[in-house]
C-alpha cells in the first residue's frame, strides 16, 4: 500500500455480470478529489455486458455514458486505454500507478491473471501491479464456482491480490440497486485507503 491515499488508479472492467458496480465505482472515483488520474480499460466482453446491463453500446464516449446522467459529460481524469495496447502507460512498472481494481472481474480474466498470461493490457497491468507489490483488487463474479476457479482465486491471492467478490451487503437495508452498488464501490475504495464521507458505517 502506498504511504499516501492512491492518487493514480488503474480501473479495468471485464465481461462478468455487474456493470452497475463499475458505474458506481467510476462515479465515486470521479468525485473523489484525492484521486487525480484514472486509467480505464474495458475488455471486448465487458462492452458486450455493458450493452446488456447499462444499455451502453460501443466505445465512443464510453466513459461519459457509463457515468450516466449523474456523471459529468466528459470525465477529465478518467483516460480510456485500449485493451489491445500492451504499450500503454500502465503496461510498465515505471509508470507510477498506485493500485489497480478489476470490477467486475470475470473468471476468464482471473484465470489469466492467476497464471501470468499477460497478452492484453488488463492482464499485463495486473501482472505489473503484482510484480511491483502494489494493491490489486479483483471483484470476481461467478456462481457457482468449480475447482479451477477456486484454485485460481487461491493463486491470485497467494501472489498478493485481494479477492473482493462482487457480494454486496444487506445489513444497511439498501433502498435500490444503485444504493447497493454504491456502498459496494465505497467498500472497495475504503479498502484502498480512500474512505468515502457518505458511506454507511455499522454502529453495532
Ligand X SMILES: Cc1cc2nc3c(=O)[nH]c(=O)nc-3n(C[C@H](O)[C@H](O)[C@H](O)COP(=O)(O)O)c2cc1C
Q: Which residues bind ligand X (CB under 6 A)?
A: 14-17, 43, 45-46, 48-49, 52, 106-109, 141-142
**CB-nearer residue toward ligand X: 111 or 199:** 111
* Beta-bridge mates of residue 137: 101, 162
For 79, other C-beta atoms within 10 Å of its C-beta total 15
The radius of gyration computed from the CA coordinates of the chain, to the nearest angstrom, equals 16
What's the min distance (Å) between Cβ of 19 and ligand X? 9
Position with the least CB separation from ligand X: 15
**CB-nearer residue toward ligand X: 8 or 43:** 43
What's the min distance (Å) between Cβ of 111 and ligand X? 8
**Alpha-carbon gap, residue 56 to 47, rounded angstroms:** 8
**Alpha-carbon gap, residue 55 to 134, rounded angstroms:** 33
**CB-nearer residue toward ligand X: 28 or 49:** 49
What's the min distance (Å) between Cβ of 119 and ligand X? 10
Write down the residue that cell numbers 505489473 correspond to: 128
For 58, other C-beta atoms within 10 Å of its C-beta total 10
What's the min distance (Å) between Cβ of 25 and ligand X? 16
Cα–chain center distance at 41: 9
Q: Which of 26, 17, 5, 197 is nearest to 101 (CA)?
A: 26
**CB-nearer residue toward ligand X: 97 or 113:** 113
Query: Phi-psi bin for 55: left (phi > 0), alpha (psi -120 to 50), beta?
Result: left
Three-state SS string across 52-74, please? HHCCCCCCCCHHHHHHCCCCCCC
What's the min distance (Å) between Cβ of 138 and ligand X? 11
What's the min distance (Å) between Cβ of 57 and ligand X? 13
User: Which pairing describes strands 136-140 and 162-163: parallel, antiparallel, or unpaired?
Assistant: parallel
**CB-nearer residue toward ligand X: 32 or 123:** 123
**CB-nearer residue toward ligand X: 52 or 72:** 52
Amino acid at each position: 500500500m502506498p504511504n499516501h491515499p492512491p492518487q493514480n488508479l488503474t480501473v479495468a472492467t471485464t465481461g462478468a455480470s455487474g456493470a452497475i458496480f463499475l458505474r458506481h465505482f467510476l462515479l465515486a472515483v470521479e468525485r473523489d478529489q484525492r484521486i487525480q488520474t484514472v486509467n480505464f480499460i474495458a475488455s471486448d466482453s465487458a462492452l458486450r455486458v455493458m450493452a446488456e446491463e447499462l444499455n451502453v453500446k460501443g466505445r465512443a464516449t464510453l466513459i461519459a455514458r457509463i457515468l450516466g446522467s449523474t456523471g459529468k459529460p466528459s470525465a477529465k481524469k478518467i483516460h480510456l486505454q485500449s485493451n489491445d495496447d500492451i504499450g500503454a502507460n500502465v503496461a510498465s512498472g515505471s509508470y507510477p500507478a498506485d493500485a489497480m481494481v478489476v470490477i467486475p472481474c470475470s473468471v476468464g480474466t482471473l484465470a489469466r491473471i492467476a497464471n501470468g498470461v499477460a497478452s492484453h493490457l488488463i492482464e499485463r497491468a495486473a501482472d505489473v501491479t503484482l510484480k511491483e507489490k502494489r494493491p490489486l483488487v479483483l471483484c470476481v463474479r461467478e456462481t457457482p464456482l468449480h475447482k479451477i476457479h477456486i484454485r485460481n482465486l487461491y493463486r491470485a491471492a497467494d501472489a498478493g491480490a485481494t479477492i473482493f467478490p462482487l457480494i454486496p451487503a444487506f445489513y444497511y437495508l439498501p433502498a435500490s440497486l444503485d444504493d447497493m452498488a454504491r456502498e459496494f464501490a465505497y467498500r472497495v475504495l475504503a479498502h484502498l485507503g480512500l474512505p468515502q464521507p457518505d458511506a454507511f458505517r455499522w454502529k453495532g
